[in-house]
Amino acid sequence: MAIPEAMKGDEWSPAMARRIMPLLVSYAEACKSVTYGQLSQEVIRRKWGHYVMPVAYRYPAGAIGYAIEKTEAEWGEPIPPINALVVNEVTGLPGKGIDFFLKNYLGLVKRQKSVTKDQRQSVIEEIHKDIFNYAGWRKLLHHYGLADPPPLIEKREIKKTLGKQYNWSGEAESEAHKRLKTYISQHPESIELPKTAAPGIREYVLPSADKIDILFLDNDWRVAVEVKAANSNDDDLRRGVFQCVKYRELLRAEQRTEGSIPQARALLVTERVLPENLVKEARLLQVPVVKLALTRR
């Protein structure tokens, strides 16, 4: 057992840190965050302890953060601060006590002494992705001599789409698509961006060689716009939703390599109303959708 000092002892905070860390790994593997209140309920339901004010869990969460930093130095490799998964129910963000761990992990731009609310949210989103993608959580639990991740209660049926054939349009770019791109690039206010924003860059090429229909630079934010004209079928629209997810992540990766705080978003602009199933998917994947029927102008 090689557990760091921060998680040793019989006091409530380190003892609870040892209890909840495997549970946090369960949430990491499920790609989910957990609120302070949910964490409190889980502890009581699993009979790991008595009720305390949910906000008190910031102390065992902090102990886990310090322990990970110690192990990170010993192993010589970055380990995401899994304690950042514990978030406020209202804001969906960790408390400000996590900022120390976030800055150390991401190595934020040194010239910045603090980050704005929007920047902080972007950093948290990046940290959460790193936590979800980290492959060494079980190795870390075994290194600490802790239990394996316990199963989470809620399960849902996963709709299988592997092997599905999609009927994407294989035609060359239509005039309607070109016209819509041109209009949006010159009128950022049409998609709820500031009217004062600079004209959008059409066919912006990413390091991966993917091309974004339009890229707007709005202060420190990069906004990718995927355009689908009226002739796009349902499969094309669904592809557009997933393209937005890809562009958002690639833009954020590009910013991280530049040493910038990753602030990028992507939205889908379509001349058609999305079917209800695609509205749900876009909402789940946090892809805003704007309907802009240019042909009626």
Whole-angstrom distance, CA of residue 123 vs CA of residue 114: 12
192, 276: one domain? yes
Q: Give me the domain span that covers residue 271.
A: 175-296
Asked if residue 107 belongs to a domain, the reply is yes
Note down pLDDT in tens along the chain; length 297 residues. Answer: 589 999 999 999 999 999 999 999 999 998 889 999 999 999 999 999 999 999 999 999 999 999 999 999 999 988 999 999 999 888 887 877 666 666 666 665 444 556 677 777 877 888 898 899 898 999 999 999 999 999 987 544 445 554 565 665 655 578 888 888 999 999 999 988 887 778 899 999 999 999 999 999 877 789 999 999 988 899 999 999 999 999 999 998 888 888 777 888 899 999 989 999 999 999 988 899 999 877 554
Token pair belonging to 177: 């698509």
33, 138: one domain? yes
Q: Looking at the 3D structure of the chain, how many domains does it have? A: 2
pLDDT digits (tens, 9 = 90+) for 124-175: 888 898 899 898 999 999 999 999 999 987 544 445 554 565 665 655 578 8
DSSP 290: E
Asked if residue 151 belongs to a domain, the reply is no
Whole-angstrom distance, CA of residue 14 vs CA of residue 20: 10
CB neighbour class for 198 (10 Å; exposed up to 12, middle 13-18, buried from 19)? exposed
118, 203: one domain? no
179, 132: one domain? no
Asked if residue 156 belongs to a domain, the reply is no
Q: What is this structure's pTM?
A: 0.68
**How do 221-228 and 264-270 pair as beta strands?**
parallel
Domain CATH number, residue 230? 3.40.1350.10
Residue labelled with tokens 């302890």: 49
26, 120: one domain? yes
